């Protein structure tokens, strides 16, 4: 689970950093922004899973 988390965050960063080709922004800022979005997604979906799991048995 930890390895998949690391790979996912790295992928988010790389996608964000590659956006500079289109946006012209700093690759570090863009990559960090995308990583933070990914962390938010992970936290929300994990919380939803914790809430739904007991109902599913």
Q: What is the pTM of this model?
A: 0.81
pLDDT in tens, 9-51: 999 999 999 999 999 999 999 999 999 999 999 999 999 999 9
Residue 57 binned pLDDT confidence (cut-offs 50, 70, 90): confident
Q: Provide the 10 A C-beta neighbour count for residue 15.
A: 15
Could you give the angle at the alpha carbon of 7 between the alpha carbons of 49 and 3, nearest 5°? 70
Tokens of residue 51, six digits: 């809430």
pLDDT at site 1: 82
Any idea where the domains of the chain sit in the sequence?
2-56
CA 20 centroid distance within chain: 18
């Amino acid at each position: 689970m930890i390895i998949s988390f690391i790979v996912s965050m790295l992928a988010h960063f790389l996608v964000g950093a590659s956006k500079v080709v289109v946006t012209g922004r700093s690759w570090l800022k863009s990559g960090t922004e995308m990583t933070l979005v990914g962390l938010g997604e992970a936290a929300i979906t994990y919380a939803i899973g914790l809430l739904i799991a007991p109902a599913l048995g």
